[in-house]
Amino acid sequence: MTEHEQFDLLLPWRVNGTLEIEEHEQVRLHTSNCVTCRSQLRELEELRDAVRKGPVPSFDAAAGFRKLEERLAGDAAIGPVTGSARFRSLPGALRWLLLAQAAALVLVAGLFVARRIEQAPVGSEPSAPFRTLAAPRPEILGGAPRVRVLFSEGITEQELRELLHEMGGRIVDGPSSLGLFVIELDAGAVDGPSLADRVAALRGHDGVRFAELVGSPSTRP
């Protein structure tokens, strides 16, 4: 390839101004002495203008995002790559091997538990349940109801604080990949039949797009 041909290949990017300084200078020097390249530059400038100034429809980005949100919310399979997604992407043989290994571990654990039960003295009192230090407190696990909530995009921190205060709740988890928060309601404030009403009121709040009791069937406002 001749020197001229090498420079000719770079001309398109001299015209869009993205050549590195050294390349740009070399091309500029060559072009100043090459009639053919100067002619090519004019052609390329014409091509650049035709492409840049060509008609392009305007697209509604905000509407596009709303559609995408609906699509993501409607398809639970669409989410950031997670451990389970990576597992599904493994080759079939490797997946079966891992499953078999997991099954073997479960079997061994089951045999161990069964043996411990057999060895326990008949009629003995059940001991306190095992709990790690990091485990949630039993009173939280057992009692206070929790609500899964998706707040509106425009809600301010102040509004959020007021809303939490009104409903007697506090955020205990979230946001999830879909922006969901889990709110634990104050058990004392929501005892009895008023719980359903409180959740309904929550759904009616301007700052809430979605609310459901954790463990209840999913219902949209």
Partner 1 sequence: MNLEDSALLAAVAEGDVQAFEKLFLRYHQPVAAFLFKMTGRRGLVEELVNDVMVVVWQKAQTFAGRSRVSTWIMGVAYRKALKAIAKLGRAPTMVAVEPDLLVDEAGPDLDLADTERRDQIRRTLTKLSPEHRAVVELTYYLGYSYAEIAQIVGCPENTVKTRMFYARRKLRALIQPSHTAGREEGRTGSR
Q: Under the rule (CB under 8 A), what is the footprint of partner 1?
A: 1, 4-5, 8-10, 12-13, 15-19, 36-37, 39-40, 42-44, 46-59, 61-62, 64-65, 67-68, 71-72, 78-81, 85, 153, 175-179
C-beta of 41 vs 195, nearer to partner 1: 41
My answer on whether omega of the bond before 138 falls inside 30° of 0, hence cis, is no
C-beta of 17 vs 121, nearer to partner 1: 17
14: Cβ–Cβ under 8 A, 6 or more apart, which residues? 24, 27, 28, 31, 41
CB 184 within 8 A of CB 195: no
Q: Which of 51, 43, 41, 52 is nearest to 19 (CA)?
A: 41
CB 42 → partner 1: shortest distance, Å?
7
Strand pairing class (146-151; 169-173): unpaired
Q: Which of 147, 166, 148, 150 is nearest to 158 (CA)?
A: 166
CB 46 → partner 1: shortest distance, Å?
7
C-beta of 79 vs 204, nearer to partner 1: 79
CB 132 → partner 1: shortest distance, Å?
26
CB 74 → partner 1: shortest distance, Å?
12
C-beta of 85 vs 111, nearer to partner 1: 85
